[in-house]
Structure 1
Amino acid sequence: MTVITHVQRRSRLAEMVDRPGGVSVGVALAQAQANLGGLRDQACAIIADNIAVLLAEPAPGTIEALRLDLAYSASNQIIDAASPFAMDDLCTAAKGLCDLLDAAPRQGGFDWRIATVHAQAMKLLLSLPTDAAAPRAAIVENLAEVLKRKLPVQSQTAHQAVQPAA
């Protein structure tokens, strides 16, 4: 019986990974925080711009489905800009609006006052100081109540299923 063997060659990437060097996790996290700190103002500007989109009057004759898509996109961009900076209350408010917009009928009939309330609440959350925990919690709690009342029953069940147990 003949046995064929192959010489295993190590890749350059494997050799580089095995070599000591680099930075520690603590130093890498500190560098990442410093890099993010410089981008916070830019993120706040993106959030403010998208809140303005949510508050803007639609052009006459705008199709309801297009308006829903634009509002959903603006709300989603708020989440994208706020999440790296631990603006959890803003993310929660924007996610709730996304859930409402996603469940809205595409042919019309969405109560746009809900979107306005969420946008105004997000504008307030953005302007509040970070140490104002009680007002922030009250705003998020009230938006959760709006979500509970306005989200269709089948969507509420799905929404509650993804929420972590308290």
Structure 2
Amino acid sequence: MTVITHNRRRSRLSTLIDQPGGVSVGVALTQAKANLAGLEARSRAAIDEQVAALSALAQPTSLEENGRNLDLAYDYSSAVIDAAGPFDLKDLCAAAANLCDLIDAAPEGRMFDWRIVVVHAQALRLLLSLPAEAADARAQVLASLKDVLKAKVPDNPQPDEG
């Protein structure tokens, strides 16, 4: 039996990985929060822009226009979620997601109750204008939007809160 041995060379990467260094998780999180804080103003501007676009959507007059406008409303709501999510703006995300759920549940080939889009756009504007300490008012707005979802999509499973 023959045994072959090789001199194994350590790669530069494995040497770097084995050495202590880098930053701690706490420092990395602090740096990430600082980086995000610098982007919050741009995020708020993007949210304002998407809510304004949602508000500007006209009530459709045909099934074809209904589908197009619903797709746009869904896109605007999704963009609100994308912009608000990293900044822990949970109420904005919840309101926008509620509209997305309602649009997802809309039956094909029927006109959508456009008042739902109008109400959600107004609710998003209200949530943007409320001060951070107005938790009760925010909760009431979200509860009202969830009531709309329950009324329009009664079999929609709601996640447990708490």
Instruction: Give the secondary structure class of the aligned counterpart of 1:13.
Output: helix
Structure 1 stretches of 5 or more lacking a match? none
- How do 1:73-88 and structure 2 match up within 5 A? 73-88=75-90
- Using the alignment, how far apart are the partners of 1:10 and 1:25 within structure 2? 28
CA distance, structure 2, for counterparts of residue 165 and residue 8 of structure 1: 56
Task: Name 1:148's counterpart in structure 2.
Answer: 150
- Identify the residue that residue 98 of structure 1 maps to in structure 2: 100
Conserved? CA contact 2:57–2:69, under 8 Å: no
The 3 A distance-change label for structure 1 pair 69 and 25 is: same
1:85 shift after superposition = 0.6
Question: How many residues end up aligned between the 2 structures?
Answer: 160
Structure 2 residue identity aligned to 1:70: L
Q: What is the Cα deviation at residue 13 of structure 1? A: 2.9
How far does residue 23 in structure 1 lie from its aligned partner after superposition?
A: 1.5
Q: CA deviation at 1:64?
A: 2.0
Given the two structures, how large is their TM-score scaled by the length of structure 2? Answer: 0.87
Residue identity in the other structure for 2:49: D
- Superposed displacement of residue 28, structure 1: 1.4
Query: Matched residues in 1 for 2:146 and 2:100: separation?
Result: 13
Are the aligned partners of 2:74 and 2:100 in contact in 1 as well (CA < 8 Å)? yes
Q: Say what the alpha-carbon RMSD is for the aligned residues.
A: 2.1
Letter in 2 for 1:141: A
Alignment of 1:2-151 (within 5 A): 2=2, 8-58=8-58, 63-151=65-153
What letter is aligned with 1:47?
I
Q: Which string of whole-angstrom CA distances, capped at 9 and with x for unpartnered residues, describes residues 3-53 of structure 1?
A: 556655544333222221112222211111111111111111111111111
For residue 34 of structure 1, what is the amino acid of its counterpart? A
Q: TM-score, normalised by structure 1?
A: 0.85
CA 21–101 in structure 1, closer or farther in 2 if over 3 Å, else same: same
Once structures 1 and 2 are overlaid, which stretch shifts more, 95-104 or 57-66?
A: 57-66
Aligned partner letter, 2:71: D
Residue identity matched to 1:63: E
Q: 1:64 to 1:2 in 2, by over 3 A?
A: farther
Q: How has the CA–CA distance of structure 1 residues 165 and 51 changed in structure 2, closer, same or farther, with 3 Å as cutoff?
A: closer
Aligned letter for 1:124? L
What secondary structure does 2:110 align onto?
coil
Structure 2 unaligned blocks of 5 or more: none
Between the aligned partners of 2:144 and 2:153, the Cα distance in structure 1 is: 14
Between the aligned residues of both structures, percent identity stands at 54
